[in-house]
């Protein structure tokens, strides 16, 4: 494709949610795949259009939430427009359309006030509209039932359908990629575009449409907050990584298998390479929080150690960094997002890695085997290479097997963690180091 100009057009009447983020992503992937802006064609664009004409409900904090969400996800737009700053443009087109006979002013009864008000209606020929949808194929709708529909409350207050069409034409939009709940809006917007073209106010529209499936709850009901329909910022606050969320959102309606891929972990660059709008499914996309957790866990494991350590340190202030670094594999195997660490560290789940535990006599039982364990561990080297979980296990295993593994390993676990349930004693020993291990074992033996 030579050129693709698409737009994500949120209304700042609420925070950016999962559905909006997925729509933005699909538009972004399509634009970047088809010629832009880093390609040789350099013509494609991903436009952000803030539809803030609803003055009562549009709020600056929602607008900022949208901008912050896109930035966090890494979806960089090429241009940004605000409909509230384009009122004069809409007025000009409304006036010319009325002047040329494509629309007219109609007096309407206002029930609440008991008065009559003027609105602007489009003259509708009442014909059948057929358009090609890249996902759903040919779609045909009869517009006769629409009658002459309202396109503006007055010259200063155009409605959603009119502003969208004018902006799409003036901005050179080539593809409208949006949720399937907008299919019913398409006939009205096509009629408006045709009216503008027929009256010499715009070129004949050659827009392509793609209506992506709605995101549904696991029981195929409408997605609700209970199933994950929360603001994007909540996922950020809960410790999800943007790359994981991007990868997950891409699979809501599209599958890597459709592109002949076996792997599910795909970077944004790989998604741009393999994503095909025509491969998006027609049926609803199921939001599976467990799948998102899986993606996030995998991305956490793939973080460079420097980044991972920096994030982990936020949840373990004033803890020994050397121990933290050794603890990273253990932590990443037991969390799905970084918010899990708030609860775990708050409950003291990791404390025994950083400080010697208090011992309970009834839990320790028979500490006698600790004497031999201390001797075996003392013979191991001091360095991290010599004092690994595997080498510690090898040094103790034959003794534990001959004496009874439960009899030997139980007091070792309790001595090192103070708990009946913990990481295995070999892992604990390797993380806290040889000196601290012998110190704790000796204390338990004496205790």
Which position has the token pair 């039982």? 365
CA neighbor of 323 nearest in space, from 163, 413, 434, 194: 434
Choosing from 71, 107, 225, 322, the catalytic residue is 225
User: Who contacts 215 (Cβ-Cβ below 8 Å, separation ≥6)?
Assistant: 18, 19, 22, 223, 229, 252, 253, 284, 285, 286, 287
> Distance (Å, rounded) from C-alpha 284 to C-alpha 253?
7
CA neighbor of 364 nearest in space, from 414, 438, 403: 414
* Tokens encoding 25: 């992503």
Segment holding 292, helix H or strand E: helix 289-301
> Distance (Å, rounded) from C-alpha 298 to C-alpha 309?
16
CA neighbor of 430 nearest in space, from 403, 400, 396: 396
Task: Pick left, alpha or beta for residue 137 (phi over 0 → left; psi -120 to 50 → alpha; otherwise beta).
Answer: left
> Distance (Å, rounded) from C-alpha 112 to C-alpha 114?
6
Cβ burial, residue 139 (10 Å; 0-12/13-18/19+):
middle
User: Who contacts 343 (Cβ-Cβ below 8 Å, separation ≥6)?
Assistant: none
Q: Is residue 111 flagged as an active site residue?
A: no
Is residue 90 within 8 A of residue 167, CB to CB? The reply is no
Phi and psi of 335, rounded to 5°? -130, 150
> Distance (Å, rounded) from C-alpha 334 to C-alpha 324?
14
User: Who contacts 17 (Cβ-Cβ below 8 Å, separation ≥6)?
Assistant: 229, 230, 231, 232
**Catalytic residue set:** 225
């Amino acid at each position: 494709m030579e050129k693709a100009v698409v737009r994500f057009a949120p209304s700042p009447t609420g925070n950016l949610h999962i559905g909006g983020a997925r729509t933005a992503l699909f538009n972004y992937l399509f634009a970047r795949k088809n010629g832009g802006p880093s390609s040789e064609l350099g013509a494609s664009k991903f436009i952000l259009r803030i539809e803030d004409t609803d003055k009562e409900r549009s709020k600056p904090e929602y607008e900022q939430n949208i901008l912050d969400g896109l930035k966090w996800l890494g979806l960089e737009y090429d241009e940004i427009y605000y409909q509230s700053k384009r009122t004069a443009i809409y007025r000009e087109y409304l006036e010319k359309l009325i002047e040329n006979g494509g629309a007219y002013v109609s007096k309407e009864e206002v029930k609440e006030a008991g008065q009559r008000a003027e609105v602007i209606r489009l003259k509708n020929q009442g014909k059948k509209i057929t358009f090609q949808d890249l996902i759903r194929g040919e779609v045909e709708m009869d517009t006769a039932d629409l009658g002459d529909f309202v396109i503006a409350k007055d010259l200063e207050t155009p409605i959603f359908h009119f502003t969208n069409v004018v902006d799409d034409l003036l901005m050179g939009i080539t593809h409208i990629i949006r949720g399937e709940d907008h299919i019913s809006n398409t006939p009205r917007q096509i009629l408006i575009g045709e009216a503008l073209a027929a009256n010499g106010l715009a070129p004949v529209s050659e827009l392509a449409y793609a209506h992506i499936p709605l995101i549904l709850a696991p029981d195929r009901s409408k997605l609700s907050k209970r199933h994950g329909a929360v603001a994007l910022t909540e996922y950020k606050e809960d410790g999800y990584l943007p790359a994981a969320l991007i990868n997950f959102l891409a699979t809501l309606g599209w599958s890597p298998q459709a592109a002949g891929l076996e792997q599910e972990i795909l970077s944004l660059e790989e998604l741009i390479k393999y994503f095909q709008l025509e491969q998006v499914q027609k049926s609803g996309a199921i939001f599976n929080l467990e799948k998102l957790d899986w993606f996030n866990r995998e991305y956490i494991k793939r973080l460079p150690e420097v980044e991972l350590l920096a994030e982990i340190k936020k949840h373990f202030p004033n803890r020994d960094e050397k121990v933290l670094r050794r603890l990273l594999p253990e932590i990443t195997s037991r969390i799905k997002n970084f918010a899990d660490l708030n609860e775990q560290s708050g409950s003291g789940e990791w404390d025994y890695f950083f400080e010697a535990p208090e011992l309970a006599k009834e839990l320790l039982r028979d500490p006698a085997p600790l004497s031999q364990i201390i001797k075996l561990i003392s013979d191991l080297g001091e360095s991290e290479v010599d004092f690994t979980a595997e080498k510690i296990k090898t040094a103790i295993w034959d003794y534990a097997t001959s004496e009874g593994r439960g009899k030997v390993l139980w007091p070792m676990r309790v001595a090192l963690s103070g708990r009946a349930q913990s990481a295995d004693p070999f892992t604990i020993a390797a993380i806290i180091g040889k000196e601290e291990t012998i110190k704790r074992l000796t204390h338990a033996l004496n205790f």
